[in-house]
Structure 1
Amino acid sequence: MGLGMMAQGKQQHNGQATGLREALGFIPNLCTGYALLLLILAAELLSVLLVVANSGLRDLRWAELGLVSFLVQWVVLSSASILCYLQSYLARLGPMRAGLISYAIVLVVTMICSLGGQWLLRDIGKLAIDWWQVASHLVIAAVLAGIILRYLYLQQQLQKQQQAELRARIQALQSRIEPHFLFNSMNSIASLIAVDPQLAERQVEDLSDLMRASLAEVGLIPAARELQLCRSYLHIQQARLGQRLQVNWQVQPLPEALLLPNLLLQPLVENAIKYGVEPDPQGGQVTVQADIRAEVLELVVINSLPVSDINQPSAGNQMALENIHHRLAAHYGVAASLAVDNKTDQFKVSVTIELTACLAQSRPRQS
């Protein structure tokens, strides 16, 4: 699938450079606002369940529901706060030790909250500690905590597996080079050595630049660097195709802090030549556009189509677009999108990325 794929050498993943969200630790990160909202909703549903199971729906008393909800919310939120604070420590432990510590924390918090609740209610009839009630709370917490912690652990393992597969997929997409391109480039260089040594030298430099980028770690690079790699690829193809390949650059100045996935544009340009220019005896034109509009980065690659191929994109082209789509989703999530327009005599691929997402990737991530 182009230079976006090179099957040589072993590469190590750089977590900060890729921008992928790591799944670390025994359970998912409980320090986010989204996790806090889910915990509050889950605690409230659990409170309703406990009250209904105890007194029935017909005899449901709102005062009892309020007291149970107050106790459950304190247990859930306090346990989550402690687990959030200890997240880095638990991540360094094995699953068994981390699970036992998390389980013990929930039980200790439950006992403290149960005793604290009885202490708060001592002025309305509770003069002594009801240890049976504390024991009941602990039994309920023990059962529910075991189930919930086990569920969170399995969810975390699934997320880790998915992210590992995603990293492996991105590495595969970026770590191979199409043999035909390499052979054609080498043949072109060999034929130019005697005719035009300077152009042959430039071809070697461009090819070396592309090979170096293909062998680099999976990650994000400055937008200017990505555009330069695209130019290097087009220099090689122009030397091979001559006047049959016309290139139209429409690139506006981009912020230096703007980062893009390594070799994002090159596969799109490669497919534009392979499926749009090469099949046409008269050749064709490839247009590369880069601009920022309304706080959105827009990258566009347009190529002319042979008459026989209009509105009939090849399977190889679709595979490349799918790979680019997966890479964008991995790095930017919903902040990036890919669109295709092939309703005319041109094939147009548009990549849009929210500018804040591009710039946010350039800031160091905290471990």
Structure 2
Amino acid sequence: MIVSSPAGDSTHTTAPATATLEPRAFLPDLCSLQSVLFLVLGTGLLAVAIVLVSSPLNEFSWELLGQLAMLLLWISLSSAGLLCQSRIWLGRLPSWVAGGLSYLLILLLASFFTIAGQWLVWPAFDWLVVLKVLLLTAIIAGVVLRYMYLQQQLSYQQQASNRAQINALQARIRPHFLFNSLNAVVSLIGFDPIKAERVVLDLCDLFRASIAEPTLVSLASELKLARQYIAIEDLRLDNRLRVEWLIDGEVESCRIPSMILQPLLENAVYHGIEPLPAGGTVKVDISVKGGVCDLRIINPRPESAAVRRGNGMAEGNIRARLQAHFGEQVVFTSLAQGDEYCVHLRYNWHHSRLEAATKNVK
């Protein structure tokens, strides 16, 4: 889809909904495929180790290995399933209470399956076997529960650190954005108060987005804010600014960090359009395919005498925010070619480190 316009639309967005805090889980997600595979492999290796320790190698009992492995699998998988379903509820309790209940649940399941296994498989019931299994389960369950609890707390700390980093990076953009936007309003108040009022209304939406919780938003909403910013700049520049929008793909489903397009467009206007007496055209080329967002912003490049020198803060900030969300796989380049300057951004929005961490701790 190709859309060409002198400026962006001036429609107004509503305030973003405030995210509600969800209860913190006590343990990691034990129902995930990775956790189940870990439990199955760990249980199998534990059964082999117990059989090897309990009898000489030349008397290795495959029958005992099968019975023991089956018993341990029933205990581990049933414990994981129940803890997986109750981990949010456990997260509402004090940690020592949640840990005690989890520990007691595993011991009860171990007792039940040991007694049931003896009744079904072995001809004679032996309480000593039950006691041995309980002692073994008590030792292993204590170590594993402690490890999983600490792993979950580390996940929360990493998520909080990542959010703090993104907050700090976005906070550096806001003063710069506020200063330039207010200049646009001031330049209009004296000779066109009606346009100035419209600019203020657009700024309300832009300011609301800039101070909102920094998170991933839909590319469609980011484009809407970008069009509002372009509308403001078009009024300030007296129609010297033209924007060509080339958009292809599912922008509604694509996710992008908030307030990414605005500073890139601001750079394009400040360095590429303002120095030119006749203005010029900024091209915004966005393609979304297979979870990959490919974005290019191309603006005119004035002659060397008119080029404005920047400090690279906006581009460096954006690169850091993108890498905080999507890791080192982000492609972010800027290149001057002839009379054009192009900023290229490419990333897989399915690979969000912050959303992945959120899913892991929910």
Scaled to the shorter chain, the TM-score interval is: 0.7 to 0.9
> Could you tell me how far 1:149 is from its partner in structure 2?
0.4
Shift of 1:47: 1.5
> How far apart, CA to CA, are the structure 1 residues paired with 2:180 and 2:293?
33
CA distance in 2, matches of 1:40, 1:26: 22
Q: How many residues align?
A: 332
Offset, 1:43: 1.1
Residue 349 (str. 1) matches residue 334 (str. 2): no
What's the offset of the Cα at 1:277?
A: 2.7
Q: Within 5 A, what are the aligned runs for 1:172-251?
A: 172-175=168-171, 177-219=173-215, 221-240=217-236, 246-251=242-247
Report the secondary structure of 1:27's partner residue. Answer: coil
Name the residue aligned to 2:154. 158
Query: 1:67 deviation in Å?
Result: 1.9
* Residues 305-346 of structure 1: per-residue CA shift (max 9 Å, x gap): 57889xx994652332121232356xxxx9xx6323445624
1:186-225 CA distance string (max 9 Å, x none): 2332232223333323322222221122233445555433
Aligned to 1:7: none
- Could you say which residue in structure 2 is the equivalent of 1:82? 82
Q: Deviations over 1:20-75 (max 9, x none)?
A: xx783221121223322221112112212222222355543322222221111111
Query: 1:245, 1:277 within 8 Å by CA — same for their partners in 2?
Result: no
Across the aligned residues of Structure 1 and Structure 2, the Cα RMSD in angstroms comes to: 3.8
Q: Which runs of 5+ in 2 are unaligned?
A: 1-15, 357-361
Gaps of 5+ in 1: 1-10, 17-21, 362-366
Q: Distance in 2 between matches of 1:118 and 1:212?
A: 66
CA contact (8 A) 1:71 1:113 kept: yes
Is 1:268 the counterpart of 2:264? The answer is: yes
Q: Kindly provide the amino acid, as one letter, of the partner of residue 251 in structure 1.
A: I
- Percent of aligned pairs sharing the same letter: 37
User: Does the CA contact (< 8 Å) of 1:14 and 1:218 recur in 2?
Assistant: no
Residue pairs, 1:1-367, within 5 angstroms: 14=19, 24-57=24-57, 59-122=59-122, 126-127=123-124, 129-175=125-171, 177-219=173-215, 221-240=217-236, 246-252=242-248, 254=250, 260-273=256-269, 276-277=271-272, 286-293=282-289, 296-303=292-299, 314=312, 316-328=314-326, 338-342=330-334, 345=337, 346-353=341-348
Contact 1:12-1:217 at 8 Å conserved across structures: no
Letter in 2 for 1:348: V
Structure 1 stretch displaced more, 44-53 or 157-166 = 44-53
Q: TM-score if structure 2 supplies the norm length?
A: 0.76
Separation of aligned partners in 2, 1:118 and 1:231: 72
Distance 2:158 2:70 in 1: 37
